Amino acid sequence: MPTHYLDSEKSESSLRTDQTRITITAERRRWARKPAHITDALDFWSFAGAAANVILQLGWPEVAYGVMESKVESGALTAHPWKRARTTTQYLTVAILGNEEERKAYREAVNSVHRHVKSDANSPVKYNAFNRELQLWVAACLFIGFEDSHQLLHGKMSEEQAESFYQSASTLGTTLQVTEEMWPATRADFERYWNLGCERVVIDERTKQYLIDLVNLQMIAWPIRLVFRNLLRFLTVGFLPPIYRDQLDLEWTEDDRRRFEHLFIFVSFVNRFIPRSVRQAGNTIQMRDIRRRIKTSKNLV
């Protein structure tokens, strides 16, 4: 693995932000002028880009092969998609809403699984789920997903709001092995880290087929695919930055981009009339379930 990008001698990425981020151009007033916080992003529609976020994470070969070759069958994405979705959502919930004791309990549970995720002599790349650089990349992808969906739903943040939102999000990584010192200090530092990290995105043929199956919901039962495939595929491709669409040969036109953004303008308007407690009910229920599992010593993952 390379050294931490923020400690490297390279100061600028060869990639532009318009290659590494989705375009959000709609100019609309934000719901509130108060400082933004990561807890504001826990909205049902914030998870519309969940599949796309997995693809972002698997852009690094070490993460991709760690997932594709994982010997933990019970948590395999293709074999148990709903369980994987539940555990991932619960991780995000406890990282954002949990206290330090609850995060520690979830960290220990995830560690028990990660101990089995490491490369062997037949792996094309070396990986280990305990590698902090890989965990930092995954956490960065999670942050990107929340920031993009939050701005699509609430309008673009000012620099001050974006900084406040970012500073509240470090637990996305530190709930596992990422240290506070590893988390880029400012939003500008993070942008540099992200663009440099995107230079390592390499999708080989095996990974490409795995990700295309994910885009097309091949792991989901066909009745659900029949009903939701077009919408979920549209959302997944829409949440992918151009560098990913290019490597996956996914078409995305300017008309597609406008339809994608207009969809979220509509959702944003509807959300104004839905109480926050309702919009975030799923995460509230997840947090209660986590606390119940901890109290009764039941498996968390």
pLDDT tens sequence across 242-268:
999 999 999 999 999 999 999 999 999
DSSP 139-160: HHHHHHHHHHHHHHHH-PPPHH
Q: Residue 1 pLDDT > 70, yes or no?
A: no
> Which tens digits make up the pLDDT trace of 276-299?
999 999 999 999 999 999 999 888
Give the pLDDT score at 54: 94
Domain ranges of the chain: 36-295
State phi, psi for 229 to the nearest 5 degrees: -55, -50
Residue 221: per-residue pLDDT: 62
Q: Does 9 have pLDDT greater than 90?
A: no
In this prediction, residue 2 carries a pLDDT of 46
261 residue type, one letter: E
Whole-number pLDDT of residue 46: 86
The one-letter amino acid code at 126 reads K
pLDDT at 241: 98
Q: pLDDT tens-digit profile of 120-131? A: 999 999 999 999
- What pTM was estimated for this model as a whole? 0.92
The residue-averaged pLDDT of 152-169 equals 93
Q: What is the mean pLDDT of the chain?
A: 89
